[in-house]
Amino acid sequence: MSNDPKYLKETPSQTAGPYVHIGLAPGAAGFDIYREELGHDIAGPNAAGARIRVEGVVIDGTGAPVKDVLLEAWQANAAGVYAHPESAGEVEEGFRGWGRVITDFATGEWSFKTVKPGPTPGRNGQMQAPHINLWIVARGINVGLNTRLYFDDEDNTADPVLNTIEWEHRRATLIARKTGDSYRFDIRLQGEDETVFFDI
């Protein structure tokens, strides 16, 4: 009997490819198959808090928009509670806090509507500034990229994750700018002002 630790290996990632919409957003691929596609409504009708719109574009290393990207958003409600049993507290009926976002195939622009999340508990009793967790997949991305969207009209100075980023000027890549009724959050995969991506 061996005492070697026995664990399985994680299934390796492969790119979502250019036709990811067929599986995850078939309406965008050009056909109607499911009673309801998932991820269209992040906050639901009953969620408290400020209704906001977030928009942006994902930009590749040549400066071009990535037109076949798919993003997923995961966020807490305005009270800082995630719709998950390990998050202390309740969420409003219909609040899932998760959404799927695809781009305009012609321009690469994407947007979604939600409620602004509240501060959430971090590690060791620290609080995290309001943020939306993002996961980005596309053709040419071999493992989905994780990042966070913070808000420029919140106090982010004590956020433990932002403060983990050694290069202070790179923290700005995670902060959405309020422009009119929307928050603008462009994601740069590579090159000048490359967005900070996390190994979570």
Partner 1 sequence: MKPAEFYQRDRNWHPPALTPPYKTSVARSPRYSLLSLETTPSEITGPRFGHSDIDPLDNDLLQNYAQAGQSPIGERIIVHGRVLDENARPVPDTLVEIWQANAGGRYRHKKDTYLAPIDPNFGGCGRTLTDAQGYYYFRTVKPGAYPWRNGINDWRPAHIHVSVFGSGFAQRLITQLYFEGDPLIARCPIVQTVSDPLAIDMLTAKLDMNATIPLDTIAYRFDIVLRGRRSTLFENKLEGN
Tokens of 158: 């004590």
How far separated are the first and last CA of the chain, in Å rounded? 35
Residue with tokens 């009209």: 153
Tell which one of 3, 4, 35, 168 touches partner 1 (CB under 8 A).
35
CB-nearer residue toward partner 1: 7 or 180: 7
Tokens of 167: 């290069």
Would you count residue 138 as binding partner 1 (CB under 8 A)?
yes
Tell which one of 4, 10, 168, 181 touches partner 1 (CB under 8 A).
10
CB-nearer residue toward partner 1: 116 or 148: 148
Please say whether the beta carbons of 150 and 160 come within 8 A.
Answer: no
Would you count residue 9 as binding partner 1 (CB under 8 A)?
yes
Residues 168-187 interacting with partner 1 (rule: CB under 8 A): none
Tokens of 125: 């009793």
Would you count residue 192 as binding partner 1 (CB under 8 A)?
no
Piece of the chain touching partner 1 by CB under 8 A; list 44-52, 86-94, 150-158, 177-185: 86-94
Nearest alpha-carbon partner for 52 in 37, 83, 73: 73
Would you count residue 50 as binding partner 1 (CB under 8 A)?
no
User: Which one-letter DSSP state was computed for residue 65?
Assistant: B
